[in-house]
Structure 1
Amino acid sequence: MSATRRQILARTGALGASIAFAGNLSEIFAGTATAQSMGASGYGPLVPDPDGLLDLPEGFRYRVLSREGDPLPSGEGRVPSNCDGMAAFPGPPGRRGGTHLVRNHENRTHSRSAVPHVPGLTYDPGGEGGCTALELDRDNRVRSERVAIAGTSTNCAGGHTPWNTWLTCEETELRAGDENYTKDHGFIFEVDPYDPQRTGAVPLTAMGRFQHEAIAVDPGTGTVYETEDAFEKPFGLFYRFLPVKPMGGRGSLRAGGRLQALRVPGVPDLSTVQQPGIVFDHVTWVDVPDPLARRTPIRFQDFGPLGITHAQKLEGCYWGGSCVYFVSSFAHRDDGSAADHYGQVWKYDPRRHRLTQVVAFGPDTDLQLPGESPDNICLAPSGGLMVCEDGEGAQHVFGLTRHGEVYAMARGRQNIGTPDKPEWGEFAGVTFSPDFRTMYVNCYTPGTTFAVTGPWNH
């Protein structure tokens, strides 16, 4: 769990800074929706939940779909812990309505509830991470819940593909022989939400072995963009993967392709750029020497005399309009970064080969904006975003309008601390059903998946 921007500012004595942010926040919504944004009041104040699980605005209600430790309806074991990234998919042909969910479990070792190992879906017998898949009817009743992939490690985020599969990302670089592992980790795996056996547990090795965070697919070309959330210097890179079979559908990424890393000439570290609106017109992509990182992690590899461009805490990645957006949640000199910042949003335009800094948060930051910056996000029915806050204290799902107005959408009430020192598990994996009538979101600890319905602004 990372420190929030509010905590960082408090430590640096900047908590009383003026309320401002630099850049065009509305840019991060470009091309994602045509709906009108809501006002600052959102859906109204949160109403305390008498059952002590989830506070929501008046008129909204929730259904608990799944809780860690409960028996899986498939009979494969128990619901795993550490519920993280998630995506929603339309029901399969032949069934009326309904939604399929694929949910990550960020288990490493010694987890409270590991992903059960299932024949044909287990990559490494020593791995405890993976994904589960839920099939819901149109009233959000659970039709089935089962293992979708197992034997992986630290499945954090990922992203959906245009052909309706989920790419789950391992946020680790552990190798065979480390801890209990019998195979190398740090890969992306494709998961079919309708029939996981069709995708199995096959690492997409050409897409690189590193501390993956999230992906986004260009729906026109099939290029896959990838973020790396490395925990120490040199920090992560921003990648693109050029598939041999672009837009080839389920299983096509196994055919391989070229993995490249972004180079911004003269900028070895993106943290040093804090000028929203600045444009780099001559960015290039450099082939990764050894995508499998057989001897050296990719970010340490030799990219030639011009080097490569790094950034701390690269997390969210999503496609909007004709561009890909990615987020650096924060950067700290004390960690080895070249400069401090409290969040950056970047936009890459592949048609123009142009990189633009959209938003930068700093000491003069609006402390009401959620988290470090939008990273675990999804498009909301109002045309804005829903953002999961990750930090200490009360945990919220915030709504963020196109005009930068923030409202609380949900607050977790499951106390994982003590009555004297309460703690609440962070939210993760927020996503909407294809018809935008239901918001699905996970509580990381205790692992709980909610379906939230109500008077959404369509």
Structure 2
Amino acid sequence: MSTTRRQVLARTGAVGAGIAFTGALSELFAGSAAAQGKAGYGPLVPDPAGLLDLPKGFRYKVLSREGGDLPSGEGKVPSNFDGMDAFRGKHGGVHLVRNHENRHNGRTPVPTVKGLTYDPMGKGGCTALSLDRHNNVLSERVAIAGTAVNCAGGPTPWGTWLTCEETEDKAGTNGYTKDHGFIFEVDPVDPHRTGAVPLTAMGRFQHEAIAVDPRRGVVYETEDAFLKPFGLFYRFLPKKPEGGRGSLRAGGKLQAMRVPGVPDLSAIQETGACFEGIEWVDVPDPLAAQTPIRNQDFGPKGITHAQKLEGCYWGGKSVYFVSSFAHSAEGSAGDHFGQIWRYDPSERRLTLVIVFGPSTDIQLPGESPDNICLAPSGGLMVAEDGDGAQHVYGLTRRGEVYTMARGRQNIGTPEKPEWGEFAGVSFSPDHDTMYVNCYNPGTTFAVTGPWHRT
């Protein structure tokens, strides 16, 4: 990003102003925002090991580090830990599926494995960890390989992971032998049951995340495009809405969201802004054979774009999606440091429910929300992906924001410290453990403690 919240604050001197957070999720929250420190689990305690600061009473276990040996013997643990989710295992155990956002020049690629490799020149993919009920690692192995820039994705109601490629590179670009920009299904228990098959009908674009409507089987998809033309918000209507492993291979219809009279969501700045009669327009060419989807002709009414669409999840009866930021200097209609939108398919209604920044302390969370999930308390946990200090932060039912974790692994220098973003925040099925990744250096944490105290 060319201009960040922290750079703006440095120029204006607006430091220590407290969290600027407005809006409330009507289904999950009630009330208005409050200042930092009045919610959550208390102040963060510095970690003597220099890895992860947590509130008193919480502890972490490192499950995996990039560059180590995979216990499966398939090679090294790949780099660039990104999206992830937790699935129920046997006897209270958990299966984790973790993305690796490796590009063609990634540091440590996902090892190629027979039957699990899409394009041998692709360096991205997923790894799968199996844990016992005490978060001891029982196995760690490749789940899919030969894909590219696996950013986020999302779980399905039938217990698989959809991993998303955030690229539009075609065969012959950057050494790839196949087209990229697809979604792939990954079975967390036995990846060979899903293999490495692109779900082409779900579109070829810069995918970020997905969420599945468990009642209708509709899959919602975000597109992470931070330069114009900005990304779109999509829905996929599967031919087999009843779902099941492999059901998405049967195909379906891809559509993009049109908000009447709103060509760019960043123009909307008032929380609670509500739009009725949301339209869904068929995508002319889902495979983007000649033209990226966001550049295609959607008719005289056009289509609705948004900069940096990222996190996506299903909650209650609605789908929620995140715009991490918008900068007018880069072509957006307005400026913000993060929005969360809610779309209610029953009412065909879109609502802006949260806006972040910019007047906030540079050492506190509140810039560029990314991966997002429901917390045990009923609020949200959000992974921060900005500049400066990096946090996992929570949002309570009352609309209060608080710090849950802070990364301490300095990837810069003592004079100019930098910290890797957080990603893949998710909870065990029993809600007793939060799993989260540090992107760089790739580290997967299991965080336990008094989650139900708040």
TM-score range, shorter-chain basis?
over 0.9
Q: Is residue 284 of structure 1 aligned with residue 282 of structure 2?
A: no
Q: Displacement of 1:126 after TM fit?
A: 0.8
RMSD, aligned α-carbons: 2.3
What does residue range 231-380 of structure 1 map to in structure 2 within 5 Å?
A: 231-361=226-356, 370-372=365-367, 374-380=369-375
Q: What is the letter of the counterpart of residue 87 of structure 1? A: D
* Match for residue 433 of structure 2 among 438, 448, 453: 438
* Match for residue 104 of structure 2 among 103, 109, 115: 109
Q: Which residue of 2 aligns with 1:226?
A: 221
CA contact (8 A) 2:29 2:399 kept: no
TM-score w.r.t. the length of structure 2 is: 0.93
What SS does the corresponding residue of 1:220 show, helix, strand or coil? coil
CA contact (8 A) 1:73 1:144 kept: yes
Q: 1:80 to 1:318 in 2, by over 3 A?
A: same
Q: Displacement of 1:298 after TM fit?
A: 0.3
Q: 1:307 to 1:14 in 2, by over 3 A?
A: farther
Q: What is the letter of the counterpart of residue 308 of structure 1? A: I
Q: Displacement of 1:153 after TM fit?
A: 0.6
Q: Displacement of 1:16 after TM fit?
A: 6.5
Q: Which residue of 2 aligns with 1:51?
A: 49
Q: Which residue of 2 aligns with 1:67?
A: 65
What does residue range 357-436 of structure 1 map to in structure 2 within 5 Å?
A: 357-361=352-356, 370-372=365-367, 374-436=369-431
Q: Which residue of 1 aligns with 2:38?
A: 40
Q: What is the letter of the counterpart of residue 108 of structure 1? A: R
Q: Displacement of 1:373 after TM fit?
A: 5.4
CA contact (8 A) 2:394 2:403 kept: yes
What SS does the corresponding residue of 2:192 show, helix, strand or coil? helix
**Worse-matched range after superposition: 253-262 or 46-55:** 46-55
Could you tell me how far apart the structure 2 residues matched to 1:369 and 1:219 are?
35
* Match for residue 154 of structure 1 among 149, 156, 161: 149
Q: Which residue of 2 aligns with 1:29?
A: 28
Could you tell me how far apart the structure 1 residues matched to 2:2 and 2:114 are?
35
Could you tell me how far apart the structure 2 residues matched to 1:273 and 1:439 are?
33
Q: 1:19 to 1:157 in 2, by over 3 A?
A: same
What SS does the corresponding residue of 1:7 show, helix, strand or coil? helix
Q: 1:69 to 1:19 in 2, by over 3 A?
A: closer
Q: Is residue 81 of structure 1 aligned with residue 112 of structure 2?
A: no
Q: What is the letter of the counterpart of residue 80 of structure 1? A: P
Could you tell me how far apart the structure 2 residues matched to 1:413 and 1:20 are?
21
Q: What is the letter of the counterpart of residue 82 of structure 2? A: D
* Match for residue 168 of structure 2 among 165, 170, 173: 173
CA contact (8 A) 1:371 1:390 kept: no
Q: 1:17 to 1:332 in 2, by over 3 A?
A: farther
TM-score w.r.t. the length of structure 1 is: 0.92
* Match for residue 214 of structure 1 among 209, 214, 222: 209
Q: Displacement of 1:419 after TM fit?
A: 2.8
CA contact (8 A) 1:370 1:387 kept: no
Could you tell me how far apart the structure 1 residues matched to 2:61 and 2:322 are?
31
Could you tell me how far apart the structure 2 residues matched to 1:83 and 1:445 are?
7
Q: Displacement of 1:326 after TM fit?
A: 1.2
Q: Is residue 129 of structure 1 aligned with residue 124 of structure 2?
A: yes
**Worse-matched range after superposition: 380-389 or 292-301:** 380-389
Q: 1:104 to 1:3 in 2, by over 3 A?
A: farther
Q: 1:439 to 1:71 in 2, by over 3 A?
A: same
What SS does the corresponding residue of 1:254 show, helix, strand or coil? helix
What SS does the corresponding residue of 2:337 show, helix, strand or coil? coil
Q: Displacement of 1:431 after TM fit?
A: 0.9
Q: 1:381 to 1:22 in 2, by over 3 A?
A: closer
Q: Displacement of 1:65 after TM fit?
A: 0.7
* Match for residue 443 of structure 2 among 444, 448, 452: 448
Q: Which residue of 1 aligns with 2:33?
A: none
Could you tell me how far apart the structure 2 residues matched to 1:114 and 1:222 are?
33
Q: 1:239 to 1:8 in 2, by over 3 A?
A: farther
Could you tell me how far apart the structure 1 residues matched to 2:143 and 2:390 are?
28
Structure 2: 5+ residue stretches without partners = 31-35
Could you tell me how far apart the structure 1 residues matched to 2:413 and 2:358 are?
33
Could you tell me how far apart the structure 1 residues matched to 2:52 and 2:59 are?
9
Q: What is the letter of the counterpart of residue 193 of structure 2? A: R
Q: Displacement of 1:367 after TM fit?
A: 7.6
CA contact (8 A) 1:210 1:228 kept: yes
Could you tell me how far apart the structure 2 residues matched to 1:204 and 1:339 are?
34
Q: 1:294 to 1:135 in 2, by over 3 A?
A: same
CA contact (8 A) 1:45 1:58 kept: yes
Q: Percent identity?
A: 75
Q: What is the letter of the counterpart of residue 437 of structure 1? A: D
**Worse-matched range after superposition: 443-452 or 50-59:** 50-59
Q: Displacement of 1:457 after TM fit?
A: 1.5
What SS does the corresponding residue of 1:334 show, helix, strand or coil? helix
CA contact (8 A) 2:23 2:355 kept: no
Q: Displacement of 1:227 after TM fit?
A: 0.6
Q: 1:347 to 1:140 in 2, by over 3 A?
A: same
Q: What is the letter of the counterpart of residue 27 of structure 1? A: S
Q: What is the letter of the counterpart of residue 329 of structure 1? A: S
CA contact (8 A) 2:168 2:205 kept: yes
Q: Which residue of 2 aligns with 1:34?
A: none
Q: What is the letter of the counterpart of residue 5 of structure 2? A: R
CA contact (8 A) 1:30 1:321 kept: no
Structure 1: 5+ residue stretches without partners = 32-37
Could you tell me how far apart the structure 2 residues matched to 1:324 and 1:375 are?
15
The aligned length equals 448
CA contact (8 A) 1:28 1:358 kept: no
CA contact (8 A) 1:154 1:172 kept: yes
Could you tell me how far apart the structure 2 residues matched to 1:14 and 1:45 are?
24
Could you tell me how far apart the structure 1 residues matched to 2:415 and 2:362 are?
27
What SS does the corresponding residue of 1:340 show, helix, strand or coil? coil
What SS does the corresponding residue of 1:27 show, helix, strand or coil? coil
Q: Displacement of 1:346 after TM fit?
A: 1.5
